[in-house]
Structure 1
């Protein structure tokens, strides 16, 4: 396994724990000890979640974060069975969130490299913002797929006059 893959899995573990309500709640969901879950949440600890814990946490938050990383490592991508729900997403709101997070990511990287050194802590900060951007992009792409499948839809644009 490559280091990059392991860093992706560790980042997905951290995101999954966060989306399930933090370490304490992940302990309740998985039945593992607080120290064990803490090691999964620590980017510097090599411990990886067992499949049962991954499944329980992904089911709890409804987001297959680690499963998606595993699929991507095999050149695959997951599909969202609730894609129809995305058709209700406002095109402008979805685009605005992607653009906001793009700006936040650009700023985070600029701050991280401004002193000429990119530390592991700064890399973790960049990764957190990138994960949020990745989620927003995924939501925008799912919405676009539904729009294509339906042959188009209103973009909820309104003309404002004085």
Structure 2
């Protein structure tokens, strides 16, 4: 536990600071002292970690899912975080817009692939750029699926 304990505590602290200590107390129902113990590196608090319901409440209010991403990294999992939260109320013409966005994103992925494969080797940075485009393409497909489901209801 010591190997990842410090890492999780560091990210728990970042989460609380992202939200703000006062807001974090309000969201979790915990005191400042209790929240502080969750990310304290003192030996007496080494076995104390933030409960998952508190993490979920704070990450909902935070600008970034600090603890969730730390847990994923510890397990070797890559998460795709989309910080844009579009207004889902205006759906008129959404499928048409999705088709256009889908074709644009696919074109960007193919352009990235074409540029990356020119020398016959795909470097780490090129792979990362293609992965980013693939994740964006996947996001558009999910949005399109949701819009299509809305139209069939």
TM-score, normalised with respect to structure 1: 0.48
**In 2, are the aligned partners of 1:13 and 1:49 still within 8 Å (CA)?**
yes
Largest Rg, 1 or 2: 2
Query: 1:112-127 counterparts in 2 under 5 A?
Result: none
Cα shift at 1:146: 4.6
Instruction: Give yes or no for the alignment of 1:145 onto 2:124.
Output: no
Q: 1:37: how far off?
A: 1.0
- 4+ long deviations beyond 6 Å: 147-150
Matched, 1:16 2:2: no
Q: What is the number of residues matched between the two proteins?
A: 93
**Aligned equivalents of 1:84, 1:21: Cα separation in 2:** 21
**2:57 aligned with 1:56:** yes
Q: Contact conserved, 2:12 with 2:50, CA < 8 A, in 1?
A: yes
Q: Does structure 1 retain, via aligned residues, the 8 Å contact 2:72–2:79?
A: yes
CA contact (8 A) 1:17 1:41 kept: no
1:28 & 1:13 partners in 2: Cα distance? 16
Change (3 A) 1:41 1:145: same
CA RMSD of superposed structures (Å): 3.1
The 5 A counterparts of 1:1-162 are: 1=1, 3-22=2-21, 24-44=22-42, 45-46=45-46, 47-82=48-83, 145-146=132-133
Q: 1:30–1:56: 8 Å Cα contact kept in structure 2?
A: yes
Q: Deviations over 1:70-114 (max 9, x none)?
A: 1111110110134799xxxxxxxxxxxxxxxxxxxxxxxxxxxxx
Alignment gaps of 5+ in structure 1:
86-140, 151-162
